[in-house]
Each structure stands twice: as C-alpha cells, then as structure tokens.
Structure 1
Amino acid sequence: MEGMRVLLVDDHSLVRAGIRALLGSIAGVAGIEEASSGRQAVELAATMQPDLVLMDIAMDDMDGLAATRTIAAAHPHIKVVILSMHDTGDFFEQALRCGARGYLLKDAAVAELEMAIAAVMRGDVYLSPAVSRHLVGNMLARPPEDERAASVLTPRQTEILELIGSGLGTKEIARRLDLSVKTVEAHRAQIMERLGVRDIANLLLEAARRGLITLGKRSTTLDAPR
C-alpha cells in the first residue's frame, strides 16, 4: 500500500476529521483528499485519480451508491470501500452491484479498517462479519429462481465454489485440492459464466441466493479475477 492516495467522502466534517486521523496512522497512506458529496467525489476522482475511495452512502446532491457506480464505471482501477452506518442487507447488495470492493460499518475497529484497505488494494473483496451475516441472510431469504441451479456445476466446480464461499483465495484452494492456480482460475471463470455473473462480488451474491454456498460468520475476503 506504499504511496496510496485516498479520497474520503462524507457530508459530516467531524466524521471526515475522525477518519482522516485514523488513516494517518495506517502505513502506506501518502495523501488524503476530502469530498462532502457524491458529486464532488465523482469530480475529484476524475482529477485526483486516487487509489482508494472511502465512501459514505447518505449524502445530499448525489448519494454514495450513485457516486460509486459512476466512479467504478469510469475508473475501474479505483477501489471503492463503503463506510456507512446502514446495516441492512439491501444496502450491502446494492453497494456491491454498484462496484464497491468492500463494505464496513462505521463502528468497525481501526484494525478492521486497515484489514479492509489491505484486502481491496491487493484486489480482493472485503466484507466485515456483520455485513456477511446480513447479506447472506438477505440472499437466502429469497426463493431461488431455479431449484436445479446446482446441476449447472460439475462436482469439482461445486467444491471450488464452496471453498471460495468459505473465504479461501485462489492459491489456498489450489494447494488444498492439489491443483494448479491456472486450473482453479479456469474453473472459477466457468462457474461465473454458468451462474451468469462477471465478478467475484456478484458471484458471492448469486451463489448465496441460490443456496449453493453458506458463508461463515468470519470476515470474508475473496480474490478478484485476474
């Protein structure tokens, strides 16, 4: 994370000041800019080109979800982490579908903030334990669209999907199954194609919704496709 530039977005100046102080204690943060609205965040993201955006949701002018969608579409290399008070599954799902790479609640510990930043900067998706519980509960509460969903995957793909759902990365899965990393990546690509998703965040959502995986209560960190 050396030399990381961060854009901090929140409409409360005191909140920004507090988070800014926390960021100052994290190694590798080289510069911090602030925005007080989603629209201002979109403008600063285009000119500043930060490595990371910490985004609130409830803001005037343009909310954080709309801003995240715009930034992710225009600048896919910029990692957006939602840092919000909203703790309902609908917000988590929307954030991931808008392109966020992580979601933390504002009462998260400093160590978790640092862990989330490290995860998304290496290309993973980070969901805090509270987020995982709400998100999976919300997904599993919906009736599956296709009760035969599991049949679209081979036994090996189902096994790999379950390991992804447990939070293991590609290298860990390869070691556990005695496969090459390329083989695991190929299976993962096929799983995503068969479930009709394009990224790991939506794979997590779709697999949980269909009942193909059950995520644990610990933090979930997933490799992003390379």
Structure 2
Amino acid sequence: MTQPVVDVAVGVLIREDGRMLLGSRPQGKPYAGYWEFPGGKMEPGETVHDALKRELDEELGITLRRSVPWFVTEHRYEHAHVRLHFRRSKDFTGEPVAKEGQEFGYFSASERTPGLLLPVDLAIVARAELPDVFEERADQTVLSTAALRATVVRDRDARYVGARAETFDDVMKARAMDFDFVIVPKAAFEECVRGGEALLPVYVEGVPAAELDRWQEAGAHGVKP
C-alpha cells in the first residue's frame, strides 16, 4: 500500500557563531532519542514559514521572525513518507524549552550531538555551513554542466561536491548523485526551482553579494558574483 506523503516544515536555525539548533526526538515517537532539526507537520492552508513559526512556538517557545526557503527533499521511513521543506533562519528569539523532555543544543557541523542524527539530517548539517556568497575552496569539487550530464561521480574525497546546472533535469541528476549544491545562471534560476523551493542548495551566478537577500527570498542558497 502506498504511503501518503506528509509535508513537514523544518528549521535550520543558525546563531551568530554559526552553530545550528538540533534536538532529540522525545520518547514515544518513532526514532526516539535520535537528534534532528526542529519542525513539524504542516497543517492545511499553511505556508512553510507559518507552519515552522507555529511549531517552534508551540514545541520550543522560540519566536521565528524571518526564514528563507532552502531546499526540499523526500525521505521514506518505516512509519511515514515525508516531504521535508527546509528553511534557514538567523532571525529568531528565545531559548528552546524542553516541553516533551527533549534535549537541545547548538552545534557546528564538526561537533557530535549526544545521540545519533537521523539519517536524512546527516548531509543537511554539513550543507548548512556552505557560505551564502560562493567561495572557491580546496575542500570542494565543482563539475561542469557537461561533466554532470556525462559522469557519475563515485569518489567523494572533497567535503562538498557541486555542479553547474542549466535545467531542472540537471538539478534532478545532481540530487540523485547526492551532490551538495548546484550553480545556475541567473536566467535559468526559475527553471531550476519549483514554487520557490529548490531540490538542492542553489547558487545564482552573476549576482552581486548586495542582492543576496532578494535571491534567498526567492529560494536560492546564495549567490556567486
């Protein structure tokens, strides 16, 4: 029997020091004790931001002011098929309150949580440290569009692997290959996202850093001047 898809709003809340909020799943729920990003199921008619704002207030006592779309992915658990709508925010107030006996903390990607992370969140933690303005880095590999279309990369020595993309099909292939980001021309941005949500973190090429906020509101991870 096919499982219905459950839409879930997920928050990547980042403090000024770059650490992200993670918490444990409470007892009595599937994967109790595992750690994850905070969030919850979307209610009918809610936007992703509104659902995340409600969940953070109800579950943790955190007030979310602003968030921007990051990317959406799906994952099948034994108990559910979920569509995870990730949003990032640096604009929130309040310290998390453990209303259901959870543990919480702020962590960098290199720090270990007290318990295991949910499998779907392992790659997400690392991606959250990608800079908003693209940087050439020694710990990343970027494939050309032609290489993406012709090659399956099996060796992931680099911390981050990305590719240039020009179409939605390119982005689909990059996601299937478990890449961490794509770089798209400004003119191809709308083609490479759906409804303001990307399938992977997207850098928009040829855009100055001064326009970062505008493009993040539209669903980009960042810009590549």
TM-score (norm 2): 0.31
TM-score (norm 1): 0.31
More strand by share: 2
More helix by share: 1
